[in-house]
Amino acid sequence: ARLLHGSIFAKVIEGLRELVNEATWECSGNGITLQAMDSSHVALVSLVMRSEGFESYRCDRNMSLGISLVSMSKVLKTMGKDDSLTIRVNDDSDSIIIAMESQNQDKFADYELRLMDLDSEHLGIPDTDYSCAIKMPSSEFSRICRDMSIMGDSVLICTTKEGVKFSAKGDLGQGSIRLVQTTNIEKEEEAVIIEMKEAVALTFAVRYLSMFCKAAPLSPQVGLSLSEDTPLMCEFKIAEMGHVRFYLAPKIED
């Protein structure tokens, strides 16, 4: 699998590696997918990178590759900003080859990472018709998670027709941030758009939402999909290629 802009792949890994330290990559002719849960099984990430999004892509037989995302992140940090990236696994090999090329083809770096044997549980996530679908700038969402974490461990997300409200409370007191739906969309990337069938009010652990925001550099916009008594879906699109979707179980009153 070859990417002209290897930085896309580095951003994907950076977006996942805090939530899941290691994961099984499923490779087929259609592309690369991954599904993994965090160690407490409260959050899940689902990654899709379609073959047509790569500069070139070939997969002669389906493979499951157990990879340490922490190690891969370290290797990818050695990559130059404009480097291209090729990922290769040879038949019957116990390692993955990560090759980087500088833009003017004067530097070539190769790394081999040992593959791991991982037990992975795969959950079936049905297509869900969510009550609310919110789109907002991903930088804004990151900022809100950071700001709400000052006040508490949990953030309550409430939607109305007018907008969406995030609030948190704790020992210090409480705080809230309300975003109003953008009425005059000039730049789509900066818009806050709320599609609502029913109002929702759901509480989530802000620590996990903050981890999801590590994937924010992938996309200028984030999508949040919510329904009562259903895990939140937080989506960052990978341009022309696929997406990273995070799922998080809501907090409930005991």
Partner 1 sequence: KRHQNQLRLYYSSD
- Only one of the segments 8-16, 39-47, 55-63, 84-92 lies at the binding site for partner 1 (rule: CB under 8 A); that segment is 39-47
By CB under 8 A, residue 185 contacts partner 1: no
Shortest CB 66 distance to partner 1, Å: 18
DSSP-based three-state secondary structure for 238: strand
Residues contacting 81, CB < 8 A, separation 6+: 7
By CB under 8 A, residue 126 contacts partner 1: yes
- Only one of the segments 74-82, 88-96, 124-132, 233-241 lies at the binding site for partner 1 (rule: CB under 8 A); that segment is 124-132
Q: What distance in Å separates the CA atoms of residue 188 and residue 136, rounded to the nearest whole number?
A: 9
> CA torsion sign, 204 to 209 to 212 to 216?
positive
By CB under 8 A, residue 117 contacts partner 1: no
Shortest CB 204 distance to partner 1, Å: 9
Of 15, 23, 131, residue with least CA distance to 68? 23
By CB under 8 A, residue 62 contacts partner 1: no
By CB under 8 A, residue 253 contacts partner 1: yes
Of 67, 99, 59, residue with least CA distance to 83? 99
Shortest CB 29 distance to partner 1, Å: 20
By CB under 8 A, residue 127 contacts partner 1: no
Interface residue with partner 1 among 123, 150, 180, 239 (CB under 8 A) is 123
Specify the residue, 205 or 222, whose C-beta has the smaller distance to partner 1. Answer: 205
Buried b (16+ CB within 10 A) or exposed e, 136-167: bbbbbbbebbebbbebbebbbbbbeeeebebb
Tokens in use for 239? 């341009």
- Only one of the segments 34-42, 70-78, 179-187, 235-243 lies at the binding site for partner 1 (rule: CB under 8 A); that segment is 34-42
- Contacts of partner 1 in 152-171 (CB under 8 A): 154
Interface residue with partner 1 among 58, 107, 114, 122 (CB under 8 A) is 122
Residues contacting 201, CB < 8 A, separation 6+: 156, 157, 158, 159, 228
Written as one letter, the residue type at 165 is K
Q: Which residues bind to partner 1, rule: CB under 8 A?
A: 37, 40-44, 121-126, 154, 203, 205, 230-231, 247, 249-254
